[in-house]
Every structure is written in C-alpha cells, then in structure tokens.
Chains A and B, each alone.
Chain A
C-alpha cells in the first residue's frame, strides 16, 4: 500500500516551460546544495569511516522521489510505494534494513535517512543520505561478521521508521538505536551530522522555490530528468550493439569465509530497440555466509549510467531520468538477490566487483576504451578490545590498492576506486589507537605489467600494542585482477601475522576475531591493478624510472622485456629479450585472467597461497530454486 502523503495545500503543480538557461542555473544550484551537504557531514561526523574516509552518500530527489542529484540512485520512489503510513511535514525517516527498501542500503551498518521537503503545505522534494556506522551491534565489533548465517546476527534492524515526527526528534527511538551499538557516541554524532546535511538541503530547496517559483522549480527538475534520458538514450545506442551481438562477461569473488567459492557473477548485455538489457542469469547461488549482495536494480542502472556518461558530459548532474531505458534482471536466490534472512554485512566485495564486471561487459564493444580490472573492493581491517586502562577501543579501516592501467595512462598506486574515499593518516591512528604502523608502502611489481602499468597495491604493517581481536575482510587472494589488451594481471592480496616470538602465520582473506598480543605485527597486503596494453611496448626509460622509484624491481622489469642491472638499462640485452619474448608468446587475448579455468586455478591454490582451495557453491532447496 502506498504511503499517504498529507499536504495542507491541494493546489497541483503546473508543468511550465523552463528556458534552457534557467534550467542550467537550477542544475548548478542543486549541485552546490549537494556539495554543501557533503561538506557539513564530513566536518561534523565522528567516526573515521565517515569523517576521514567519506563513506556516506547524499541525494536530492523530486517530489515523486526520483533522484535529481546524487550518486546512488533513488530508492525513494520504492519507499513511497511500500511505506504503510503517512508522510508529513517535519517527518524524517530512518532505516537500515536492506530487505525493507529493496537493497537501497545493502547492509545494516548503513543508516539511511530520508526527509520529505515541504513548502507552503506541499511536498516539493526529498533529501536523503546514508552513512556507514562503525558499529550497529550484532555478534562482532564492527557488525560485519563473516560467519553470520542470518541477518539477525549482524546487528539491530531498523525498518523504515519516523525518527522525527512533526519536526520533533523521537528521543526514545534514538536511545534504543544507540543502546544497541558499541560506539554510541560516534553513531550519535554521525546521526546528527546526517540530519544537519538534510536540513541544509531543505533550506536550499526552499530558497530555490522562492527564487524561481514552485512550478518552474518542479518543471526544471523534470526537465533535468528528461535531459538525462535523452543523453543516455543516445549513449546506449552508441555503445551497445542491438540484437544478436550479446556481450557476456563473468567475474568472481574468491570465497565466502566459510570454505566455499569462488562465486561467479555473470551478466549478458544486449539492446532491444531503445532498451539496454542486463541479464544476470548464470550467477552463482546465495551464500551461507554474509558476502551476499542485495543489488538494487535501480542502483545498478545508476552505476551503469554514471560510469558511461562521464565520458560524454562530465559536468552533467547525473540522475534517475533514464531508468526506463535500462532493464535489469537478477534471478532470485542468486548471490546478487539473496532471500531474507540471508546475511548481508560483508557485501563490499561484490559491490566492488560489479564494476569490474561492468567494465568487462561494456569494453568488449570498444577495446580501446577498455580498462583493466582494478581495486574493485573496500577491504576492511578491524581491531578492537579493552586497553590496559579498561577503555574500549575499536577501529574500522578501509584499505586501498592499485588502480588499473587505463587508456588514459598508468594506474595510480595505492588509491581508491570509490569516489571521495581517503585513507586515515597513520599519525592519527597512532595517536588514538593502540597500534603503530611500521610500514606503509606500495608493493613493487604488484601492478600488472602493461603499456600502461597497473597501480601497485599497498603493504601496511600494523604493530598491535594491546591484546585484542582483529577481523579482516578482503578478496582477490585467489583470482587475479585481470589485464587487458595484452596487459598482465596484477598481483593477488595476502596477509601474514608475525607473532612477537617471530613465528609467522598466513591469515585468510576473510576472518573474524583473531586474537592478537602486544608486539604482533600484521602485514596487510592489498592487490595491484591489472595492466593495459602490451608491456613490451612500454618506453624503456619509463621502466627504468619505475625501477629507480622502487615501484618495479629489476626482476619485475623483465616482464616488460627490459634488462636493468644496478639501476642501468642494458639496451642490447633488452632488445634481445624483447625479441625473444615477442617470438615466444601466443596471440594476446583481450582479457588475461592469469588462469585457464577455475579448476586449474584451484589445483595450484595450496601451493601458491598456502590455503586449501574453496569448494564450489551449490544452489540449495531452501532458496526456493533448483
């Protein structure tokens, strides 16, 4: 049953002509408003996740709930259809339940706040924002338990609820929410920071209506949606071939932390008339653990649009307008559409891998525009416990790795594929948490060789100074970040724990609650980006510089057919090596995955990684599928 919107003003909007200049001005005004929302949030939030790493996303939508400016697509339309209650001036809704909002947020840590904006008694817009809370309760600190079998183990579930009613904060509700986390102070500040950002959006929307008039403002928003639709329509025609030319691509996440994997995600892309169809049939079944990703179809459309339109008009305010032109099918019970109450907290790997999948799909039509596989993840490091004085400490940190080689150039070393994310300064960590960062450096040779080198991964050496527990969520320890157009794959991730007595343990990619003692050092090594283009064509001088800069070793330079001895290039040997390598190699495939088949990969798993290969996942009856 759709929500009942209470308006004191019954006048209807009139769609009016908006001249193109006014339209562009409204667009700029909304862009500024969104930037201001970010600025207010980052300045006032407390958790390092939001404040330093910017794990939060704002949007402004029109009165129907269609996103006009923002990043993650609008879930508001769906919310308005599904919410059984009233929507009134002064209300603000909160939810973190992926299953109640069709995956608008995809795990419980993301608190989503939605505010209807009224003007003169009429619903005129929406503002919404979600942010990643460091802890929302559940079985482990950080609320991201790898081994959760049901969502109930991952923390408190908040269905869509009015946390403000008639402008009044429902303190008792907020109290319940805060009482269920290990970090109430952080969550409280983050909560109010998000509210402050929404209030700012509200002020801006009202100012715009006063400035342009209600009808012009509403019509301008509609025009912006239409404009996106027209633009995306043209792009879809341009980059997706019609009919029989179906593009297919598959990629994997390596395991589910419970011994199963790799999990395949597969997608077929084709066009029927105006409409681009993405069909995820062939993807693997949902997991017993928490790596499932409830992928909202609208959000996927958003990823697709944002990714492609950037190339044509980077200044455009990207929005929901083109959604009719894209059709997304995800079979129920697969790992991208798990059934309740499947656990979801560790969906970060799939959320990232979707971008490799999309790049591989779209790039087949235009290999020159194709990027290699990059740092398609946000690996987590968590460390918590009680320190010597009995005070609780809890750190949640996101790691960074190699941006892939791209047509535009080399991939930066140790950077983020997600917009706005930044690392936490190590001096800050040492001042506030019981640890030391002994080493923070790029890993030489970890980026895939190519005409454009893949970016290197990072090694972080965490020296832990208190007895406590460490949890890790990472991936690409088994499959490789692939290279393209002759570029080689990047190096995989790995982790080693060196105990204070000098003994070494390999640490699995996904694990919870590893007990650590003062003096233990964890080496957290992220993966590199894939290479782009033929490494044998890379400028020898560039390779020499990479060696001088410590980004490539002398041994690693040989992958480029370049012989460097004590910093100096041996040109004769280089020429000879390049000739030999050219003669010996097979025809270069479009994609170089670094393995022949999953079976072949599994056969060398133990030898190469020190871990037993995971078991192939199977569909089970309880998912309602055969």
Chain B
C-alpha cells in the first residue's frame, strides 16, 4: 500500500470515528447527567482502552466495538510517576482516533507496580497479629532450604516482610472445626495493639490460626485496630486467602499489607486523573494475576492479586490475538532482558494455578500458570574453570551495564551479544529503537567464552543460544508435558523484546507449529488489558470425604459462593444475564496432599453431581500421573467463578496483498546457523502485507523487536499482521 492509501485510510477512520462520536453525543444527551453519575457507563457501547506500562514504553490500545475498529499508540514511560505517561498516551491515542477522552468509558490496566514493590523491597512496614504461640510463623516458614545436599552452606534466608519486632500474639484459639476454643482476650490485646499501631507501622495484618475455619476473632481484631488507628489499613487472612495452611495464608496476607499502601496510592491517583480528564463516570479496572479484571477498589483492597498483573496482560493479549487468528491451543513465550515467562493456553483458556511467585516471595493467590526462568537477553555466559562447561545465566547483566554490545560498559558475554555475533540482531540496520549496537564489542565479549572452550567465536555464540534455548525448553516442559499436555498440539506465540528472536528455534525443539509472531510486542499486553473480561471468584476450604456429603448440600454452598462472586460484577455494572458462571471443585484422593481443580458448569453439576466430579478427577489423575486409584475421594475446596461474557472483536485485513515481500526488503545481511554463514534479507515489519511469504533465513525488524526466520522455514503474514512461521513444506502450513 502506498503512502497515499495510508492517508486515505486514516482519513476514513477519523471520519467514521467522528460520526460515531456525534451519534453517541446525541444518545448521551437523552440520558440525564444524574443517571450517568449513578450507574457506571455501560460497557456495551463505549470505547475501551487498554494500557500497559512497560519499563521503556507505555502502550495503549483503543477498542471501538461498535465500529469494529481499534487504534494503538506508544509513548515513553515515565517511571517516576507512570500516570503521566498514561495520560500522555491517552492524549495521543485520542488524537489518532479522533475521539474525545470523555468518549472512553472503560480503562483496563495491567500494572507492575505491585510486582516492583516486592522486587525492590519498597513496601510498607507491616505489623502482624498472630495466635498465641505462633509469632514465629514467618520466621520458621516451611523450614525449607533451597539447593541440594549442602545447600544450607550458602543460603541466607531473607527477613520476613512483617518483622518479628512488629509481631504480637493474641490470646485466642479456634479449633480446626471452627469452634472457639479460647475466646479472644480483648483487654490484653488492646494494650499490645495500641503500642504496635503507634510504633511506625504503615499497614497491619491479622492472621490467626485456623481462621480459615472461623474468622470471627480476626474480624474483631480488625475492628479494634480501626478504632485505635483508622488510617492504618488492616488485612485479615481469611478475607485475603480463606484456605488452610497457616504459613502460606499469613505470608499471603502480609504481602497484601506490604504492597497495599503503594498500590492504593497509585490506583487512586490514576483514577482521579482519569476522572479529571474523562469524566466522573469512567470505570478503571486493573488486570489481576489470574487474567481476570478487578475493580479499582478491589485492587486497592487485595493488591496481592496483582503481583502477576503484567505477565497476565501478555498472556491475555497473546491469547486474544491468537484466537482472532483461530489458534486456541497455545504456548506463550515472553522473553525479556532478565527472564522468560511461559504459559499454556488450552481451548482458549489460560491455565491458572493457586500460587503466585515473585522473587523470593510466594503467595497463595490465583495466577495464570506462568513459569519464569532466569534466562533472557541479558543472561551472562561463563565457563567454570573446573568443569569447563558452558553455563548461561541465571546471572544477568541487567539494564546496567547491560550486554557488551550496547556499549554501556558491559564486558561479559550475554545472550544478546551471541545474537549479534550470529547476525540475528543486525548491527547495521536500525529502526527507530534507541539501542545502538556494537558488533565488535559483542565479538570481543563472546571470544572470552570461545577461548575457554577452544571454539570459534561463532560456534561459542551458537552454543550460548542453544543452551539458553534449552533452559527455556525446560520451562515449556513444565507447563506442558509435566501437566500432561503434548507440545506438538500447540502453537507457540513469541513476544517480549527477545521472544521473536528465539521462538523459531524453540518451536523446532518442542515441535510446536506454527510460531506466531504478533505485531508490536508491547501493544500485545495492551490488547490483553483491553479485551479481558471482568471476573470475580469466591472460594471456601471445605475438607470432607465424598461419601459423607450430599449433592444438594454442595449445590447449596456453590450457589452461595456464586452469589457472593456475582455481586461484585453487578456492582461494576455487569447485569446477571451478561455473566458466565463456572464452579470449581478442588478434589483429591483422601490422604493425598495435592489436589486437582475440576471445572464444571452449574447446569452440568445439577445433572451429574459429585459423581461426575469424581469421574472427571480420576480421568485427569490418570492423564497427569499415569494412574488412578480406587481410593476414597475427598473434596478440599469449593469455588464459584463469575465473569462477564466475552467480547468478540475482529478487525482482519482480509485483502491478500500477494506472496511477494520484496517491497519490505531493506538490505542483505549474513546470519550464522548450524556452523555456516548464510545470506539473508532484512525486512521492515511495517511494510509487510497480508499474504506475504518470507523464506528463511530472514530477519524481520520493527521498532522494539526483531524476529528471526531460520533456514528451511517460511514466514507467512496473516490477516491480522501476525507472522506465522512453519517448517517449509509443513502439512498444515497451507490451511
């Protein structure tokens, strides 16, 4: 398409948007202002905005469902106060789209603010109230020491996030069955609490033993605390995580308190700014670790659910874009500078787990089952003197000094340097990115490893890439094979700064085809933010043998949980008829420690009851672990998940612009593969058209990412701007 065509297209889009705006202003005028303030703006007709704040760029995506269009924008991030970047972005995208900020009804936001608070140890000073006899619950933790035999020699435990000197004990005790064994001694507690609340703590956690069975004492202590110090936020363990296991519940609730003041401030500021620009009716929603959306208030109350908000945006975005391209089974592969996140999506649903891990901190909060390995572009390669093995990572050159090739003082060889040596990251072509690349420094760095191994620089670089790929294959295995899935049944979608460089090679190792390289890795997260549904869940630990329980009793409990979970959506303006309900039953063989979560629709549960659940469990147990037992089944927990119905939004460019991609060619280059140099073309991603075919080896560059198509592979540009990479002659490539 020529530049003139582009301009015409943009003009038409603006015109359409303008008309659309007029239409909406007319309908809005017929509604009184009063009503608009009371009810949140309807999610059905308004514009939805997805916002992803990354380290370098803030990406935005504006969805106009009514007109089946979308717009994207990219602005520099403002790390000191990210809301500035967000507002700049909103300004820009509204300009692009020709809409008023006030036309936007919903803003969906994935944020790393909770994650970063944990990673940089910059959270609140947390006070903790435990049951008498349990003040050391975080100090002892699970007694686990990482590493192999002798691992204790080098391991230092990090300090609890609620320091012991700010931990007090309440004289009270619940039984495992929920009966009060020792009533709460309010008098003595009040004295201790008054001292604690004036000692400088910024947040309080109340985590009592067996509170998952009865949280009356926790609630009472929270009340007393609020009486004494109304400004100190209190998190109670049974509210944050109503499940068994005292250490995990306490830790989770403490982490909630730890990130709460920072997250609250951030969300409140952002909401206020958005209201100022867009009107009081704007709805701000935050993406949760499990891929669902939380209201702004929910995010401020339970920020522990946001620890994986960032990666969840990537997975959701990958899922959304792949669904448009009709791929429902996916391995997502998000490779950044220091680490790589992978996840598995089956039948259009990302697998979730009941646990979130950030740095040293592990909490029991549901999250998309994203596995992280310490392998990224900055991972450092080295050769231990004694064993002469080639090791890559987990140490990373980070942003400073960074890979040698970036000329910021780094000298140790990294994965990025190896990519430069091999020509995968061309040093002689640049497209708007900020990073200058030095081929010589990359070679110099990699040579140190090559000399130690007695290999050529190219062979050593290729070795570094192969080893880092192997580490990432390990992560892909964890989410696929270890869970009983065959990676050959999945497509691999590669994103993040370095994902598109390695995706082809990884797919070849695990046989997942095609490789999907979506356009604009940052925008992908914003896609995820904008297209995610509102979701809420309510759960309860309920340990009982299947033989001891009636269907109608479980049915009643699930219905109660459903009502609790649904209320939050109703409050957010999602009426009952737009809600989808899913029950989840955690179940195992009596005596087992693990549990499997069985999903069941309410209608189905009404028909097959608990027996249906146990049969489902046996099947899944067999699939995962190769055997089932004739042992008694035991229910461990019940959960109701309620979410708003999915939005379908398609905007394909169905026009086929021919297979020849010569218009996008920039110039020739050389890349090294399997011991040989090959000639290859460098392509400009922005000039690729639907239907173009790229023969490997080829390098495709765009502003913030570079994609490699290996020899004997072919990249085909689909209607959505994705590059689909297949082995040449693959039977499915023609479909």
B594 within 8 A of A: yes
A347 within 8 A of B: no
Q: A21-B463, A438-B133 in contact; A549/B165 too (CB < 8 A)?
A: yes
A42 within 8 A of B: yes
B282–chain A nearest beta-carbon distance, Å: 43
Among B560-591, those with CB < 8 Å from A are 589-591
Q: Is the CB of B543 within 8 A of A440?
A: no
CB neighbours (8 Å) of A28 from chain B are 467, 470-471, 474
Q: Is the CB of B151 within 8 A of A431?
A: no
CB neighbours (8 Å) of A199 from chain B are 626
B726 within 8 A of A: no
A409 within 8 A of B: yes
> A548 to B159, alpha carbons, bound, how many Å?
14
Q: Is the CB of A441 within 8 A of B157?
A: no
Q: A310-B150, A551-B164 in contact; A20/B139 too (CB < 8 A)?
A: no
Q: Is the CB of A425 within 8 A of B246?
A: yes
> A409 to B153, alpha carbons, bound, how many Å?
9
> A262 to B24, alpha carbons, bound, how many Å?
89
A413 within 8 A of B: yes
> A417 to B387, alpha carbons, bound, how many Å?
26
A313 within 8 A of B: yes
Give the segment of A230-238, A336-344, A555-563 that binds chain B.
Answer: A230-238
Among B123-165, those with CB < 8 Å from A are 132-137, 139-140, 142-145, 147-157, 163-165
Among A514-545, those with CB < 8 Å from B are 545
CB neighbours (8 Å) of B467 from chain A are 21, 24-25, 28
Residue of A nearest to B467 (CB): A24
CB neighbours (8 Å) of A440 from chain B are 133-134, 136-137, 140
Q: A25-B470, A374-B152, A427-B244 in contact; A20/B133 too (CB < 8 A)?
A: no
A306 within 8 A of B: yes
Residue of B nearest to A404 (CB): B152
> A290 to B720, alpha carbons, bound, how many Å?
71
Q: Is the CB of B246 within 8 A of A403?
A: no
B386 within 8 A of A: yes
Q: A21-B462, A28-B474, A423-B140 in contact; A316/B389 too (CB < 8 A)?
A: yes
Q: Is the CB of A406 within 8 A of B594?
A: no
Q: A315-B391, A425-B244 in contact; A235/B140 too (CB < 8 A)?
A: no
Q: A44-B594, A428-B245, A551-B164 in contact; A421/B144 too (CB < 8 A)?
A: yes
Residue of B nearest to A400 (CB): B143
Among A42-56, those with CB < 8 Å from B are 42-48, 51-52
Choose from A32, A45, A303, A406 the contact partner of B149 (Cβ within 8 Å). Answer: A303
Q: A44-B594, A417-B145, A419-B149 in contact; A442/B629 too (CB < 8 A)?
A: no
Q: Is the CB of B466 within 8 A of A21?
A: yes
Residue of B nearest to A401 (CB): B143
Q: Is the CB of B212 within 8 A of A231?
A: no
Residue of B nearest to A567 (CB): B165
Q: Is the CB of A43 within 8 A of B136?
A: no
Report which residue of A303, A318, A439, A461 has the largest number of chain B beta carbons within 10 angstroms of its beta carbon: A439
Label chain B's interface by main secondary structure. loop
Q: Is the CB of A423 within 8 A of B142?
A: yes
> A548 to B164, alpha carbons, bound, how many Å?
8
> A417 to B474, alpha carbons, bound, how many Å?
27
Choose from A231, A355, A441 the contact partner of B134 (Cβ within 8 Å). Answer: A441
Q: Is the CB of B147 within 8 A of A419?
A: yes
Q: A230-B387, A231-B387, A549-B165 in contact; A415/B144 too (CB < 8 A)?
A: yes
CB neighbours (8 Å) of A315 from chain B are 384, 389, 391
Q: Is the CB of A423 within 8 A of B627?
A: no
CB neighbours (8 Å) of B148 from chain A are 71, 306, 310, 318, 419
A329 within 8 A of B: no
Among B177-221, those with CB < 8 Å from A are 181, 209-210, 212
Q: Is the CB of B139 within 8 A of A427?
A: no
> A200 to B143, alpha carbons, bound, how many Å?
29
Q: Is the CB of B384 within 8 A of A312?
A: yes
> A408 to B154, alpha carbons, bound, how many Å?
6
Q: A415-B157, A438-B133 in contact; A51/B145 too (CB < 8 A)?
A: no
Residue of A nearest to B177 (CB): A431
Q: Is the CB of A189 within 8 A of B156?
A: no
Q: Is the CB of B388 within 8 A of A431?
A: no
B703 within 8 A of A: no
B455 within 8 A of A: yes
B84 within 8 A of A: no
Q: Is the CB of B625 within 8 A of A413?
A: no
How many B residues have CB within 8 A of the partner chain? 74
B683 within 8 A of A: no
1/0 per position for A419-452, CB-CB distance to B under 8 A? Answer: 1111101111011000011111110000000000
Q: Is the CB of A186 within 8 A of B143?
A: no
Among A295-314, those with CB < 8 Å from B are 303, 306-307, 310-314
B151–chain A nearest beta-carbon distance, Å: 6
A58–chain B nearest beta-carbon distance, Å: 12
CB neighbours (8 Å) of B150 from chain A are 306-307, 310, 355
> A427 to B387, alpha carbons, bound, how many Å?
46
Q: Is the CB of B463 within 8 A of A43?
A: no
Q: Is the CB of A46 within 8 A of B589?
A: yes
A431–chain B nearest beta-carbon distance, Å: 5
B150–chain A nearest beta-carbon distance, Å: 4
Choose from A189, A313, A431 the contact partner of B631 (Cβ within 8 Å). Answer: A189
Q: Is the CB of B629 within 8 A of A188?
A: yes
> A385 to B638, alpha carbons, bound, how many Å?
32
> A436 to B175, alpha carbons, bound, how many Å?
8
1/0 per position for A194-215, CB-CB distance to B under 8 A? Answer: 0110011000000000000000
CB neighbours (8 Å) of B729 from chain A are none
Among B201-258, those with CB < 8 Å from A are 209-210, 212, 244-248
Q: Is the CB of B145 within 8 A of A313?
A: no
Residue of A nearest to B181 (CB): A436
CB neighbours (8 Å) of B432 from chain A are none
> A11 to B663, alpha carbons, bound, how many Å?
56
Q: Is the CB of A312 within 8 A of B386?
A: yes
> A430 to B134, alpha carbons, bound, how many Å?
15
Among A471-516, those with CB < 8 Å from B are none
Choose from A46, A419, A439 the contact partner of B591 (Cβ within 8 Å). Answer: A46
CB neighbours (8 Å) of B139 from chain A are 413-414, 442, 549, 551
Q: Is the CB of A414 within 8 A of B149?
A: no
Q: A196-B625, A230-B387, A313-B389 in contact; A406/B153 too (CB < 8 A)?
A: yes
B592 within 8 A of A: yes
> A443 to B539, alpha carbons, bound, how many Å?
36
> A442 to B459, alpha carbons, bound, how many Å?
54
Q: Is the CB of A426 within 8 A of B246?
A: yes
B428 within 8 A of A: no
CB neighbours (8 Å) of B133 from chain A are 437-441, 461
CB neighbours (8 Å) of B631 from chain A are 185, 188-189
Q: Is the CB of A20 within 8 A of B625?
A: no
Residue of A nearest to B389 (CB): A24
Q: Is the CB of A442 within 8 A of B140?
A: yes
Q: Is the CB of B592 within 8 A of A192?
A: no
Q: A403-B152, A419-B149 in contact; A426/B390 too (CB < 8 A)?
A: no
A518–chain B nearest beta-carbon distance, Å: 14
A-B contact pairs, 5 of them (CB 8 A): A71-B149, A185-B631, A195-B626, A315-B389, A427-B246
Residues of B at the A interface (CB closer than 8 Å) are: 132-137, 139-140, 142-145, 147-157, 163-165, 175-176, 181, 209-210, 212, 244-248, 384-391, 453, 455, 459, 462-463, 466-467, 470-471, 473-474, 477-478, 481-482, 543, 589-594, 621, 624-627, 629, 631
CB-CB nearest 5 A-B residue pairs: A439-B133, A549-B164, A21-B463, A51-B593, A430-B176
Additional A-B contact list (13), CB under 8 Å, known A185-B590, A196-B627: A227-B387, A230-B386, A234-B386, A310-B148, A312-B384, A315-B384, A408-B155, A419-B147, A420-B144, A427-B176, A431-B543, A440-B140, A442-B140
